Amino acid sequence: MKTAVEKILSRASGRDAEAGDIVEAEIDVYMIHDPMGALVDDALRDSCGEPRHPERVVAVQDHFVPAKDIESANLSKRLREFCSKWGVKHHYDVGWGICHVVLPEEGHAAPGDVIVGTDSHMPTLGALGTFSVGIGATEMAAALIMGKLWFRVPETILVKLDGSLPEMVFAKDIILKLISMIGVDGANYKALEFNGSILKVMEMDERFVLTNMSVEAGAKTAIIPVDDVTLSYLNGRLRRAPRPEYSDDGSHSDEISIDVSSLEPLVAIPHSPANVKPASEVDAEIDQAFIGSCTGGRLKDLEVAARILRGRRVKEGVRLIVIPASRRIYLEALRRGIIDILIESGATIGPPSCGPCLGAHLGVLAEGEVAISTSNRNFRGRMGHPESRVYLASAATVAASAVEGRIVDPRVIA
């Protein structure tokens, strides 16, 4: 019996791979973004090597764009030079969006792929049935030179999600619940596989949230079995044939069950994604609300926020910043009139990018300020000053809180 992850790594390594084995797996896709391009290039130079498969490299400018200062401008320039020097054709420059959104949108992630990238939230792409992990610049250089990389095959924990989602409860609430149950190291160097009846009615925008924030539970990667929802999303996007793998019954090392029917809107309070409380019990005043990031800037998030904000105004003294996670999402939100509603409510719309998620720009917090965000991390100083505080929640909870000027359960105004 094998898990989907074991099967993918068996195919990629050409050997029978089981949890705990060390394997060298062929890489199908390499992702490099602007903060790491220069470091990867330096490592290649120091190794006297060059990319074996430049056609498999995808470069994305997303963290510090548009450039906020000379240093970030130089990083963007170095990534452009990297692509030019090594013949990397898949370069998504300023404005395309966040790597974890751009890769699937542009067909660079196919079921069964082994994907590595210079960002910790690479497991996001596991929602498409891939084995996708984050690595550092030195490892990336080695993988580029050799065309493969070594992995210890992780055990897989099955997370069964059953029941029916209550009103104003979303994938963000599910993953916050899971992290609160097992802690930030509960899945350390393991894969999380999401399954259960709720997946049958969960669209891709929501599935990506589950795999994205699995990292916050310590997971090496995360995966969702490929089904009709996956294939419908991929139709017309894929650049190569899918090779989906499925776990055999009884192959998982552990199983966690969550009845989503019992959930309510949740909030992770400072300074850990595992510090989770019902939104109705938090009641903290806020200075800023952020809807965006690779976790919470998809079309579904903008739609939900617009539904709450239609005909309402953001509380005076509160800054609502909305950053679509990609150009495609931005354009579709414009076509549907979502952006109009958000702006009329008092929101500021930013260019597709990571924005303030990592405290870089487009909404950095000052000393003592409080923000509620759809992003994935609320560590001390994550979005700005070390004495600022960040709460994590769904787009619904963030939008409702922006209207009220304090953190509220979105059901009170929805």
- pLDDT tens digits for 253-281? 999 999 999 999 999 999 999 999 999 99
- Residues 215, 345, single domain; the answer is no
- Residues 244, 292, single domain; the answer is no
Question: Which pLDDT score, from 0 to 100, does residue 333 have?
Answer: 99
pLDDT band at 356; cut points 50, 70, 90: very high
Question: Which pLDDT score, from 0 to 100, does residue 360 have?
Answer: 85
Tokens (6 digits) for 296: 């919470």
Question: Which pLDDT score, from 0 to 100, does residue 253 have?
Answer: 97
CA 149 – CA 204 distance, rounded (Å): 29
- Residues 226, 353, single domain; the answer is no
Tokens (6 digits) for 196: 């259960």
Give the residue from 281, 278, 273 showing the smallest Cα distance to 390.
273
The residue out of 257, 274, 303 marking a domain boundary is 257
pLDDT, mean over the chain: 97
Give pLDDT tens digits for 14-64: 999 999 999 999 999 999 999 999 999 999 999 989 999 999 999 999 999
Angle (CA) 112 82 296, round 5°: 50
Q: Is 48 annotated as a binding residue?
A: no
CATH number of the domain at 18, please.
3.30.499.10
Mean pLDDT to the nearest integer, 337-343: 99
Task: Please name the residues in contact with 232: beta carbons below 8 A apart, sequence gap of 6 or more.
Answer: none
Give pLDDT tens digits for 362-413: 999 999 999 999 999 999 999 999 999 999 999 999 999 999 999 999 999 8
Instruction: Tell me which DSSP letter residue 51 carries.
Output: -
CA 119 – CA 133 distance, rounded (Å): 8
CA 233 – CA 75 distance, rounded (Å): 33
Q: Is it the case that residue 414 has pLDDT exceeding 90?
A: no
- The alpha carbon of 174 is separated from its chain's Cα centroid by a whole number of angstroms, namely 15
Strand 148-152 relative to strand 22-26, pairing: antiparallel
The residue out of 202, 228, 257 marking a domain boundary is 257
Angle (CA) 104 106 109, round 5°: 40
- pTM for the model stands at 0.97
Question: Which pLDDT score, from 0 to 100, does residue 205 have?
Answer: 98
Q: Is 354 annotated as a binding residue?
A: yes
Mean pLDDT to the nearest integer, 286-294: 99
- Residues 216, 285, single domain; the answer is no
CA 204 – CA 63 distance, rounded (Å): 23
Tokens (6 digits) for 324: 């679509």
Q: Is 294 annotated as a binding residue?
A: yes
- Residues 246, 289, single domain; the answer is no
Percent of the chain beyond pLDDT 90? Answer: 98
